[in-house]
Structure 1
Amino acid sequence: MTKAPSTRSTDDAARNDGTREKLLLAALELFGLYGFEGVATRKLAERAGVNLQAINYYFGNKRGLYNAVADYLIERLQIRVGEQRKVVLDRFAQAQSGGPPIDAVEARAILTMVGESMLTLFADDESAVWVRYMVREQAEPTEAFDRVYAGFMQPMLAAVRHLVGILVEADPMTERVRLRTLSLVGSLIIYRVGRATILREMEWSTVGPSEVAAIRGIAADLVAGIRPFGESTT
């Protein structure tokens, strides 16, 4: 007599056939393009090439899928910049817990590394899909933004803010240092959200290895401009 497959075996097979990730990839793209309200569950399933019921099976409902996309985005960011992020956060934690303090030379080197990593990531076509999703969340924040902010952005911003504070010789918790930190981050993000303008202005047809190298070089220039308030950069 043939033994019927167990429920657990069936569930494992379902999890391993890639359906969940197909839905996440489709949702990341479509939600970024059209927003939560602009995408029907049927359209999500069609784009993923899966059964409509798979959304409820894996995520409960469309909102559950939308929030899961935020967690998936964090996972992808960790894969792409996880090593550099760990270096920064570990060194920051070491300094905060009584270890060797970070001086201006080290702070500048770490910030340059962070900037180069961000610019390399933004030059990649994969990041375009991520940014569209996050731009919508910036305009109308939901629980998904809270997840990405708490899970990835906030710890990194705190560390970068600390490094900026060292360079400007000011308390990193002050309003001015916070704004200076956001200004630095914004100067990096423009190389993704302003891609069309950059291509037109630079007369580039694409962003290949040589263009990425040129863009990466901007990181050091941006960080070099961070100096104590009132001090000339010339």
Structure 2
Amino acid sequence: MNQTRRPRRPPDGGYARGDETRQRIIAAAVTLFGEHGFAGASTRDIAAAAGVNAPALQYYFENKEGLYQACAEYITNDLKARFAPVMRQANDVLKSDGDTDALIDAYLGIHEVTMDCVLLQPYASKKRLFVARELADEEPDVASKLLHQRLKKPLNKLILTLLSRIMGTSPNDSVTRIRMLTLKGQIMPFYHPPGACLDLLGWKEIDAAKGALLKATVLAQTRTLLDSWRVGPGAHRSAP
């Protein structure tokens, strides 16, 4: 993918209708890039899906590479905004030396947002497919790099800090990191709903009610695990 030039129109400027058009193009592009890849998604098809003419893409994004970059920025910024409130709350708990119950609640707050992003947003599956192509080395790793640097890296550091405080260990402790991965792993079977999990559950889809049931179940068992690992009066660190 070639280096992009600066778009003729600043991404955050202009009038409301122009911003709406730009966002509509990005939404269509995320879907088509996810379904067909960078090479397979033509600018003509993206423009048609967005309900604009082809020159509009050049006006807003300069070229196809610029549009792909804009999609990566949108996905990253959208996820950062969703996690920002619970990350601030968790940092406040850590700074105030909150008790173990507060630390567990903060951890579960992050876990809940993760579940919401996976289960309860119809557009989320299209964004996941966009990023999944990069992770499979099918596309340049633009979005995955942005997500790692701007969200995953600070989020993982925060989660490890919470978990280490709950367990009374170091964030660098191997058991702490293994347990963080296993807690995240509870969500992975539902990350791509069309897969085997639907067949096992006997469901055709994950609608809002079923998503709420999955979320409540995973959060409850996460709380049980965190409670069993906690260090406090009368408690001890569980053996690995």
TM-score category of the 2 structures, normalised to the smaller one: 0.7 to 0.9
In structure 1, what is the equivalent of residue 92 of structure 2?
91
CA contact 1:111–1:223 (8 Å) conserved in 2? no
Task: Show the 5 A alignment for 1:65-144.
Answer: 65-88=67-90, 90-91=91-92, 95=94, 99-124=95-120, 125-140=122-137, 142-144=141-143
Partner of 2:29, secondary structure, is helix
CA contact 1:108–1:224 (8 Å) conserved in 2? no
Name the amino acid aligned to 1:127: A
- Length-normalised TM-score, structure 2: 0.77
> Shift of the alpha carbon at 1:33?
1.4
Name the amino acid aligned to 1:180: R
> Shift of the alpha carbon at 1:91?
2.0
- Counterparts of 2:172 and 2:239 in 1: how far apart (Å)? 23
In structure 2, what is the equivalent of residue 43 of structure 1?
45
> Shift of the alpha carbon at 1:143?
2.5
CA contact 2:194–2:205 (8 Å) conserved in 1? no
Cα offsets for 1:212-234 (capped at 9, x unmatched)? 2321121231343242797269x
Closer, same or farther: CA 194–175 of 1 in aligned 2, 3 Å = farther
CA contact 2:30–2:126 (8 Å) conserved in 1? yes
Name the amino acid aligned to 1:91: D
Structure 2 residue runs without a partner (length 5+) = 1-8, 231-235
Partner of 1:20, secondary structure, is helix
Of 23-32 and 103-112, more deviation after overlay is shown by: 103-112
In structure 2, what is the equivalent of residue 20 of structure 1?
22
CA contact 2:75–2:143 (8 Å) conserved in 1? no
In structure 1, what is the equivalent of residue 144 of structure 2?
145
Name the amino acid aligned to 1:134: V
CA contact 1:22–1:48 (8 Å) conserved in 2? yes
> Shift of the alpha carbon at 1:198?
2.4
Name the amino acid aligned to 1:62: K
In structure 1, what is the equivalent of residue 221 of structure 2?
221
Partner of 2:170, secondary structure, is coil
Partner of 1:35, secondary structure, is helix
Structure 1 residue runs without a partner (length 5+) = 1-6
In structure 2, what is the equivalent of residue 29 of structure 1?
31
- Length-normalised TM-score, structure 1: 0.78
Cα offsets for 1:53-112 (capped at 9, x unmatched)? 222221222111111112111333245444334323x426xx3xxx32244322222122
Closer, same or farther: CA 181–48 of 1 in aligned 2, 3 Å = same
- Counterparts of 1:29 and 1:52 in 2: how far apart (Å)? 17
Closer, same or farther: CA 175–49 of 1 in aligned 2, 3 Å = farther
- Counterparts of 1:173 and 1:57 in 2: how far apart (Å)? 48
CA contact 2:168–2:237 (8 Å) conserved in 1? no
Question: In angstroms, what is the RMSD of aligned CA positions?
Answer: 3.0
- Counterparts of 2:223 and 2:69 in 1: how far apart (Å)? 34
In structure 2, what is the equivalent of residue 184 of structure 1?
183
In structure 1, what is the equivalent of residue 192 of structure 2?
193
Name the amino acid aligned to 1:136: R
Closer, same or farther: CA 196–58 of 1 in aligned 2, 3 Å = same
- Counterparts of 2:87 and 2:127 in 1: how far apart (Å)? 18
Closer, same or farther: CA 119–26 of 1 in aligned 2, 3 Å = same
CA contact 2:115–2:187 (8 Å) conserved in 1? yes
CA contact 1:138–1:145 (8 Å) conserved in 2? yes
> Shift of the alpha carbon at 1:28?
0.8
Closer, same or farther: CA 34–176 of 1 in aligned 2, 3 Å = farther
